[in-house]
Amino acid sequence: MDKQSELFAEFDAKMRSAGVKDAARRAFRHSFERLQAGDTGLIPEQAIQTVGDLPSLDQIGGQAHGEPGLLSQVVMIKLNGGLGTSMGLERAKSLLPVKNGLTFLDFIARQVLHLRQQHKVPLRFVLMNSYSTSADTLEAMRKYPELGDAAELELRQSQAPKVDARTRRPVSWPTNPQLEWCPPGHGDIYPSMLESGLLERWLAQQCKYLFVSNSDNLGASLDLDVLTYFAKSGSPFMMEVAARTPSDSKGGHLARRDGRLLLRESAQCPPEDLAQFQDTQKHRYFNTNNLWIQLEPLLQLIQQNGGFVPLPLIKNEKTVDPRDRASTAVFQLETAMGAAIQCFKDSSALLVPRSRFAPVKTTADLLALRSDAYQVTEDWRIVLSGPAKPPTINLDPDHFRLVDQLDRAVEAGVPSLKDCQELTLRGPVLLSSKNTFHGKVTISNSSIGARRLPAGDYRDCTMQL
């Protein structure tokens, strides 16, 4: 046995012992071999080309003539593996109340039920949970028995061992063995679907299409016009993309290489190419992670590659204990679901409005969603109330980074933000439903103790409490 095979055998034994299935082990082996071969996962600027004009939802809307019958041929999957630890959460982020006391999961469940009732079609729906989100999520879904048995709604994400950066062996951390593992990225959806048997089951049930999106993106509803357009396009894989703005410059972008579309994430950009990576005029589109996939070509791709999708490596350099910078340096080998766009010859992209991308990554996003800047539609979507762009909110990280901190700040109610362009809060500021912001407003409190902003309208001003 050569050195590389000997090293992988240690990972394989560790994964087998933890119950990691064959398809996920094959996918990890592909990533590990790329690491050992010296693949950095980097995509230099000179290796890619920019993407020109794309078809847009604005153009096809009204022309696609949405066909409700297609709903019986589609499976809707929501990626639900995140905990929201950056905001201080310890449960699935999708259980966080976002508007009118309802959680992400409440809105998702009600969207699915509305589509079923409106079109009299049993739309298939699955949540992809991680080992961290499964129990709480399934318990929460029991309040919607109309969706079916909660256990049948789950596709379980796998886990991957962290790689000791020095020895290239499985890292050992006896004080907390769970820290020896990491999520493998949402690219794990492909081996998870195969290993669960769901992929072949759906094909046997005459399903043809898959719509996948993030559970924290409430703009990503199943749009009948987009489904119809995708079905008629013949494309095996379609990514919804949105126009990049300066605020998106650090996120991944769409590009071309050898005639195919590809996705380049920030972790895949060489440092010397960073300026061009962040040039939103050059690289105009970013991935919303709303993906449409034909199931039959997906199965063929998996079979052609020996039981997995050969996704490009994303090598994240971390420490085994993310809270301890002195702990062992590790590599987390991850893959991105959207990177499969380069694996299909005739993959495509559709430009969608910003309303299809409204994720909650920070408490600033959460504050905007909870305010009157967004409203709930009859079909349980959350859409902007007024201008095409949501307000830009800058919150002092020392006082608003955690959800608990935000909740205390708006205990007396959420302010009106529907006419606000920018809101900046510095220091411990308390708000209420009697505050209304217009234009660009900055509120500061330099004292140690929290101070409440008096009731009233605030328009294009800077105020010191």
Instruction: Identify whether residues 383 and 268 lie together within a single domain.
Output: no
Q: What is the CATH number of the domain that holds 53?
A: 3.90.550.10
Instruction: Identify whether residues 341 and 403 lie together within a single domain.
Output: no
Where does a domain end: 356, 388, 411? 356
C-alpha separations of 123 from 113, 201, 230, 424 in Å: 8, 15, 17, 42
Where does a domain end: 356, 388, 418? 356
Q: List the chain pLDDT tens, one digit each, 465 residues.
A: 566 677 889 999 999 999 998 988 999 999 999 899 888 778 999 999 999 999 999 888 655 567 888 999 999 999 998 877 778 877 888 999 999 899 999 999 999 999 999 999 889 999 999 888 888 999 999 999 999 887 788 998 888 999 999 999 999 999 999 999 988 888 889 988 988 889 999 999 999 999 999 999 888 989 999 999 999 999 999 999 999 887 777 788 999 998 899 999 888 889 999 999 999 999 999 999 999 999 999 999 988 888 888 888 888 889 999 888 899 999 999 888 899 999 998 999 999 988 888 888 899 999 999 999 999 989 898 888 876 678 889 999 999 999 999 999 999 999 999 999 999 999 999 999 999 999 999 999 998 889 999 999 999 999 998
Instruction: Identify whether residues 194 and 142 lie together within a single domain.
Output: yes
Instruction: Identify whether residues 198 and 144 lie together within a single domain.
Output: yes
Instruction: Identify whether residues 295 and 399 lie together within a single domain.
Output: no
Determine the residue type at 358.
A
Q: What 8-state DSSP symbol labels residue 64?
A: S
Determine the Cα–Cα distance for residues 27 and 340; give it in Å rounded to an integer.
Answer: 13
Instruction: Identify whether residues 349 and 376 lie together within a single domain.
Output: no
Q: What is the CATH number of the domain that holds 449?
A: 2.160.10.10
303: left (phi over 0), alpha (psi -120 to 50) or beta: alpha
Polymer length of the chain: 465
Where does a domain end: 306, 322, 356? 356
Q: Are 303 and 296 in contact (CB under 8 A)?
A: no
| Residue 164, domain extent | 3-356
Report helix, strand or coil for 376.
strand
Instruction: Identify whether residues 195 and 54 lie together within a single domain.
Output: yes
Instruction: Identify whether residues 327 and 386 lie together within a single domain.
Output: no
Question: Which residues pair with residue 464 across a beta bridge?
Answer: 444
Instruction: Identify whether residues 205 and 133 lie together within a single domain.
Output: yes
Instruction: Identify whether residues 379 and 352 lie together within a single domain.
Output: no
Q: How many domains does the chain have?
A: 2
How far apart, in Å, do the first and last CA atoms of the chain sit? 70
